[in-house]
Structure 1
């Protein structure tokens, strides 16, 4: 039976764009929650300003492993409070609450770990080679060009919690791109753009990598995280410009990721400087 407009198929209905069907919270919970699982709850909302902000506001009352997914974010944020927006149901927009018992100096690895987990999942579930731009961008190749398809934002929530948010363009079309340098899984010729299995794959991969890392006390080398990140990082080996706090810039070759998750830049005068925060601009392709 075809429903009438009065039964919820109008322009604001969650079924109004059949190319972008809604996610199903009950099925996701059955697949991801359970005894021994990292994920302890999963809430799905039709729209919100920012999943990071919402989850952080409840961090004190929630156990580790809470997941908040939104079909649309109206005030999504990237690093440096940059706006992140996309049409409803065109991507994966979610945040997770983590409370890792690891030394404080290892916490900078959380957004890098999330990048490895997302890239690993997308290679398996979407057939897309996703590269990592230090520290938090997810890159895909569209028409031979490197494009940003997603980003990661980790923020402290209370004394012990960290909320990690992921925004990933899945079915965004060329005419919907916010900037010419953006991309999506669909534009990168993904073999799967069904958000349900993609979200399951990403959260399972994140659970696996987080488990390895915390079991190793946050040690990126012992957990295999440092090597995995270096293997998938598109920044290493490139000439880069690091735009640092205090209006300072550093230009050189991205030589390594150190044990604290910082980018080591080798400058033309022979110095090696570890960068813990800042914008990185790729100046030439990797060798």
Structure 2
């Protein structure tokens, strides 16, 4: 049987069953836990936009999952799209009571949590590309399988969105540099345990970070991020605002979550915004 997409039936692709909302709620919505609600919609434009719209009336810990996103957004206003039920597309509402200067660590923290949870649940070697890409190896080649986008929502809220390719096949990849858990030989592509693993890991790391008043060192977040970051130690090109580019070695992540790049002339620059390209080593 050839799977079909977009037919309107929730069982249109038998290899991609829908998420089990009742089971996910039983496993994640526990007394005293971070997660307070979990809703799943068949399709929406953007879970980030939807959750941000109701942030003022929702408690911290609301989770919104979409089986399909039609206008998902990544960093730098890039579009994120994939076939229905081929991945995990969700957003969480957080209201961290930490100094504003430390909020930049929230998407990096989410990357640590997602990589840790997926490495355990999917059995894949997952790494991070600064600031918020999730990387897997496909036939020995580094590929982007997911991304994270954090956006302010109201005076005290932050909506953090995660998009992850789970069962995307080679002929469905949006670009040749993309990947998925299936293409990385994941031991499981069952999205229910994968989502539970990511959310439980996020609850763990978010709890450590907020308990330390957002301090990336006291919470262990910076150490964990640097340990899992594939960007560090690499020659990179930072494409910066104003059509400026910086080429050098990524040597550290500073206390503000910026990537520190050492230029060939010996100077160092902390990059807080822009696109990072991993370059091949100089022969």
Displacement over 6 Å in runs of 4+? none
1:46 matches 2:42? yes
Q: CA deviation at 1:97?
A: 0.3
Q: For residue 138 of structure 2, what is the aligned residue in structure 1? A: 142
Q: CA deviation at 1:12?
A: 1.7
Q: CA deviation at 1:17?
A: 0.8
Aligned residue for 1:175, secondary structure, equals: helix
1:283 matches 2:282? no
Q: For residue 193 of structure 1, what is the aligned residue in structure 2? A: 189
Q: For residue 237 of structure 2, what is the aligned residue in structure 1? A: 241
**Equivalent position to 1:35, from 31, 34, 47:** 31
Q: CA deviation at 1:119?
A: 0.4
Number of aligned residue pairs: 277
**Equivalent position to 2:253, from 237, 252, 257:** 257
Could you tell me how far apart the structure 1 residues matched to 2:176 and 2:203 are?
Answer: 33
Aligned residue for 1:199, secondary structure, equals: helix
Q: CA deviation at 1:285?
A: 5.7
Could you tell me how far apart the structure 1 residues matched to 2:101 and 2:184 are?
Answer: 36
Could you tell me how far apart the structure 1 residues matched to 2:7 and 2:274 are?
Answer: 41
Give structure 1 stretches of 5+ with no counterpart. 1-9
Could you tell me how far apart the structure 2 residues matched to 1:75 and 1:97 are?
Answer: 19
Q: For residue 203 of structure 1, what is the aligned residue in structure 2? A: 199
**Equivalent position to 2:217, from 218, 221, 224:** 221
Could you tell me how far apart the structure 2 residues matched to 1:214 and 1:277 are?
Answer: 24
Could you tell me how far apart the structure 2 residues matched to 1:285 and 1:94 are?
Answer: 36
Give structure 2 stretches of 5+ with no counterpart. 1-5
Residues 181-218 of structure 1 show CA distances to partners (whole Å, capped at 9, x for unaligned) of 00000000000100000000000000000000000010
Q: For residue 158 of structure 2, what is the aligned residue in structure 1? A: 162
Could you tell me how far apart the structure 2 residues matched to 1:195 and 1:26 are?
Answer: 14
1:122 matches 2:118? yes
Q: CA deviation at 1:36?
A: 0.6
Could you tell me the TM-score, scaled by structure 1's length? 0.95
1:64 matches 2:60? yes
Could you tell me how far apart the structure 2 residues matched to 1:36 and 1:277 are?
Answer: 36
Aligned residue for 1:49, secondary structure, equals: coil
Which range moved further: 277-286 or 29-38? 277-286
Q: For residue 70 of structure 2, what is the aligned residue in structure 1? A: 74
Structure 1 residues 217 and 65, CA gap change in structure 2 (3 angstroms): same
Q: CA deviation at 1:11?
A: 3.0
1:100 matches 2:99? no
Q: CA deviation at 1:16?
A: 1.4
Q: For residue 5 of structure 1, what is the aligned residue in structure 2? A: none
Could you tell me the TM-score, scaled by structure 2's length? 0.96
Q: For residue 3 of structure 2, what is the aligned residue in structure 1? A: none
Could you tell me how far apart the structure 2 residues matched to 1:235 and 1:38 are?
Answer: 31
